[in-house]
Amino acid sequence: MRPRAIRLAGTLLAVLMALTVGVPAAAQSARRPPHAGGGAAGPPVHAEQGLLRSTVARMSLEELVGQLFTTHVYGAHAQDTSRAADNQAKYGVSTPAEVVRKYHLGGVIYFAWSGNTQDPAQIRGLSTSLQDVAGAQPSRVPLHVAIDQETGIVARMLEPATVFPGAMALGATRDADLAARVFAITARELDAVGVTMNFAPVLDVNTNPQNPVIGVRSFGEEPGLVGGLGTATMAALQAGGVSATIKHFPGHGDTDVDSHYGLPSVEYDRETLMNVHVAPFAQAINAGADAVMTAHMIVRAVDPDLPATLSRRVLTGLLREELGFDGLIVTDALEMGALANFWDSAEIAVMALQAGADVLLMPADMDLAYRGVLDAVRSGQISRRRIEESVMRILRAKYARGLFHNPYPEHPLDVVGSPAHQAVAVEAGERATTLVANDAGLLPLDAAEVASVLVTGWGAATTATLGSLVAAHGPEVTVRETGANPRQETIAGVLAEAQRHDVVVVATMSAAFAPAVGQRQLVEALHAADTPVVVIAVRNPYDIASFPQVDTYLATYSWRPVSLRGAVAVVFGAVAPTGRLPVTIPTADFTGVLYPFGHGLGF
């Protein structure tokens, strides 16, 4: 079977899979593409092909180049002048509408500065007004409105929207049906506020416990688990009318440098690259993923000289030719240090296009990047035909998700944060909670026998939330937040307070392998005292490697309230623990295994 036929068959398989793994019916009907099959992997059929080609043919060079760029804007609606100074400083114009018009943008991306991401009505109004601006342009091409709504610790749209536990939490459930329901709901709520493209799911295989940038954003360390859940969530997003973007190709899971600040490099051989890190991407690509986001990292087995985002060997050779992907290649943010520390915005944009990228995301200097691409075409460094190829892919993806048919929200606003959606989030938080250690049999706590609890550890909001959740089970609660690296005097004060309570609950956050030792010392000191201690890791599950002697330890994979709620429900026996580790927890010196992949206790 030829690659195109494989991709088309995969797209149909993905939609069928989404329909069989619990995607809500309403999500299935959102912004249905006008043609059967969906997906950006194969070309549209006759009428659509003619529409898209005629659109490209009448676009000016400036409009074509503008379609390649996606960037953020400042303001709560298209004509908002309240952030004029910020827009002026970055783009030289005052309003979001003027930014779209100046660069003929193909897409915008939402962050907290896009008004108020906790106000669904405002976000919906911004989306609608920006689509109005795009529709009034000569090309009349709708925008892709994008967001990083990965779930878990990376979620731009917050409460009252439904904020779910993240990918590693879903990995702990081992349930593709639940993962699909989570992302189907995410698609439905994104559609309701006018978001058309989600930069998710993360398909990085987190094989490095010291990874500073992926960690719990990954479904786990095993390619089959990541590929299965990643493909299910991708299909659910796209069945809900939202383009999915699998990231970060060819796999950011074994890095030890954060690409926001530096340039990571991975040394493993090609067999490891393909069988571990690329395998989940290949699975999702064959199932019809609309888009792939690149990683700003050097993969020495393919190109020892250039980061993947700028490497023709990676994007064209590996992704396009070897894996047969003909959808959108989206760069990670071009303003990140991994690239911006070495090249200017024009050089980065031109190199990314030459490598094979289609969508240029968030250059540090938008003016320089935009002019750089225009100059490269006018000088013959990049052909107009090459630009048109990428624009055709961009338009094809927009058509496949129904944006030419209707770029506006289809779901009513009241679906956002609905009780039915919140119930699925609660289910996910409870089922993800992993009881890693219960050596003394302390759990579940009997609320009738626990009169008072001290809640301490990392995070003012986290400890306050844990305190209120514990209090709801009956005990009197005292909260003492200690920060990421408590000093000895803080630890001494917590120890004195602990003596006045029946149980201590300690929240830790990325305490394993950290140069700051305060969290480790806090836990060790409390463990050595008389009061029973329950440790809850609220991000990476590896924390126990720094204090392996603790008797009672749970992993939540997130500090989001719904994850903390699941942990407290397990602590008091309201639900039984069912989560299983999606990663191996090594010893602190990495010479052995403390807890294996798949470990998880019940009671």
Q: What is the DSSP string of 505-548?
A: EEEESS-TT-S--HHHHHHHHHHHSSS-EEEEESS-GGGGGG-T
Q: What are the strands, taking DSSP E only, across 324-451?
A: 328-330, 360-361, 434-438
CA distance 203 to 223: 9
Which residues, other chains included, contact 195 with Cβ-Cβ below 8 Å and sequence gap of 6+? 110, 123, 127, 145, 146, 147, 149, 157, 242
The number of beta carbons lying within 10 Å of the beta carbon of residue 253 is 27
Nearest to 356 by CA among 312, 293, 297: 312
Q: Name the helix (H) or strand (E) containing 358.
A: none
Q: Which of 175, 290, 303, 332 is catalytic?
A: 332
Give start and end residues of each alpha helix (H) in 306-344: 312, 337-340
The three-state secondary structure class of 302 is: coil
Among residues 260, 367, 473, 551, which one is catalytic? 260
Residue 126: both structure tokens together: 């911004």
Residue 45 has φ and ψ, to the nearest 5°, of -85, 170
Give percent helix, percent strand, percent coil of the chain, each to the nearest 5. 45, 15, 45
The widest CA-to-CA distance across the chain, in whole angstroms, is 78
Confirm if 74 and 83 have CB atoms less than 8 A apart: yes
Cα-to-chain-centroid distance, residue 482: 28
| 264 within 8 A of 257, measured Cβ to Cβ | yes
Residue 44, C-beta contacts closer than 8 angstroms, at least 6 positions apart: 35, 52, 396, 399, 400
**Measured between alpha carbons, how far is 4 from 334 in angstroms, rounded to an integer?**
30
Active-site residue 501, yes or no?
no
CB atoms within 10 A of CB 57: 8
Phi, psi dihedral angles at 477 (to 5 degrees)? -125, 135
Q: CA–CA separation, 356 vs 313, rounded Å?
A: 9
Torsion of CA 308, 310, 313, 317, to 10 degrees: 90
Tell me, yes or no, if 260 is annotated catalytic: yes
**Residues that are catalytic:** 260, 332
